[in-house]
Each structure stands twice: as C-alpha cells, then as structure tokens.
C-alpha cells in the first residue's frame, strides 16, 4: 500500500508488526489463516518469478521446457498445504525457494505433465515472452547459476522498491523530484546537477541536497521493508541487505 509521505526518516518495522510480513505469514499458517498464507505466498511468487525462470534456463533447459517447469513449480508451491507445520529452518524466502526449486528439478515432476500447463493453476504474473526476452538480453557471465540467481533476486527486489518509491512520489505530487534525483539514490551525481536543479526550481543547492538525502533515506527504508517481507525474523534483515549488495557487486 502506498504511504502518503515520501520523505520520512527510515525506520525498521517494529518487532511486534513483523508477523504481518509476507513470509512470516506463510510460516505462521498453522496458527492463523491458511487463506492469508496462500495470498502472501502468491504475492511473493508474483514479485520474484523472473529469477526462477532465469535460473531454470541457466541450468540448461530449453525455452519451452523452462516455461513449463517454471509454471508447474509455482503451481506446485501455491497448491501445497504443508505450511501449516512452521519450520524455522526455512529462514529466508530466497533460500527456501531455491532449495525447493532444486528438489523440484531433480524429481520426476518434469515427466508428469498429464494436465495442462500449470496443473490447472493460472499464475497471473507469468509472461512467457517477456521472461525469455529479458533472459536473452542479459550479458554473458561466468557466475554459477546460484550466484546469478542471487543477483537477479537482488535486481528484482530493487525494481520493486523503485516502483514503490516512484508511486509514492507521484501520489504526493513529487514525481519531478523523483525523476530528477533518482540517480542519486546510491550516492551518484545527478544529471542535471544540483546547481542546475536549484536554478530550475528557484531554490538553493542545499535545498536540493536535502531533497536528495530524504529520497535516499526513503529508498533505503523501502529496501528494508521489502526485505522484511522475505525473511522470517527482523534479525535477518541486515544480513540479507549485505548479501544482496554483495550479489549485485559480483562479476
């Protein structure tokens, strides 16, 4: 849900509110609503479907096979009902998903396409053509499929965060600030520079720097909030931030 203020200081989710995040809802299905858990899991799958498809392709599967396997994998996850037995060892959703996928790929699921694609479940965010288009435009890499999965996961997470930040700024009439300063979110210099923006908006360099600082703070807060959706406890957030930054920096 879009919040109304794009510029508050970042704050991690309070421990008492953490049980409402997506992955913790799934893990707590045995003590709450299985419907809510299913909806939370579907939301996570819709956000992070591309790293799964790209991983399957990187493992050497043909386009058509990767499409079928990815669709069936998500359909299997969304049909399962074993989250009623919470298991703290599941930990991060990213790690759980890759482990489940590897088990899936080494099982006999790929030989059991007796139903239509997806096993009767229509995965709404699944776009075969877009997935392959994205995969085909990726640069060559010597990284292992597992390392590339982590990099794509990090990229998908940041895309989600950037979309949320853009939506917040648009809702608050500050889309021009977002467009002008989004390049500064990782501390880079913007184009046009602060002085040019100050002249354009009839303000001061310091005011522009303050806008950029607040935008970066909000961006980082949203990163933490998005990561909180995929881990099982607040204590794991900072470690996951470090892992994803490392994944993006590997070559």
Q: Rounded CA gap, 94 and 117, in Å?
A: 24
Written as six digits, the tokens of 62 are 């043909």
How high is the pLDDT of residue 126? 60
Domain spans, the chain:
15-113+124-249
Written as six digits, the tokens of 23 are 């992955």
Q: Which residues contact 175 (CB under 8 A, 6 or more apart)?
A: 166, 169
Residue that has been written with the tokens 């399957």 in this structure: 56
pLDDT at 240 over 90: yes
pLDDT at 118 over 60: no
> What pTM was estimated for this model as a whole?
0.80
Phi and psi angles of residue 167, each rounded to the nearest 5 degrees, phi first: -65, -40
| DSSP character at residue 235 | G
Least confident of 12-16, 103-107, 161-165: 12-16
Q: 3-state DSSP call for residue 60?
A: coil
How high is the pLDDT of residue 134? 87
Mean pLDDT across the chain, nearest whole number? 81
pLDDT at 235 over 70: yes
Interhelix angle for 49-58 vs 128-136, to 10°? 60
CA-only gyration radius of the chain, Å: 20
Q: Rounded CA gap, 174 and 167, in Å?
A: 10
């Amino acid at each position: 849900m879009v919040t109304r203020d794009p510029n508050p200081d970042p704050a991690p989710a309070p421990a008492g509110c953490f049980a409402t995040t997506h992955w913790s809802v799934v893990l707590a299905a045995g003590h709450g609503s299985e419907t809510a858990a299913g909806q939370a899991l579907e939301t996570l799958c819709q956000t992070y479907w591309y790293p799964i498809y790209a991983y399957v392709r990187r493992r050497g599967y043909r386009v058509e096979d990767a499409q079928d396997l990815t669709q069936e994998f998500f359909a299997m996850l969304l049909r399962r009902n074993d989250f009623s037995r919470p298991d703290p060892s599941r930990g991060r959703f990213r790690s759980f998903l890759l482990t489940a996928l590897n088990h899936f790929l080494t099982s006999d699921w790929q030989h059991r396409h007796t139903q239509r694609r997806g096993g009767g479940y229509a995965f709404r965010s699944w776009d075969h053509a877009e997935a392959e288009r994205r995969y085909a435009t990726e640069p060559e890499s010597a990284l292992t499929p597992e390392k590339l999965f982590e990099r794509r996961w990090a990229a998908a997470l940041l895309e989600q965060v950037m979309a949320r930040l853009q939506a917040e700024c648009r809702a608050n009439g500050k889309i021009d600030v977002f467009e002008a300063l989004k390049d500064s979110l990782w501390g880079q210099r913007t184009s046009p520079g602060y002085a040019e923006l100050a002249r354009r908006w009839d303000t001061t360099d310091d005011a522009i720097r303050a806008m950029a600082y607040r935008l970066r703070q909000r961006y980082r807060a949203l990163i933490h909030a998005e990561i909180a959706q995929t881990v099982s406890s607040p204590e794991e957030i900072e470690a996951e931030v470090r892992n994803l930054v490392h994944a993006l920096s590997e070559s």
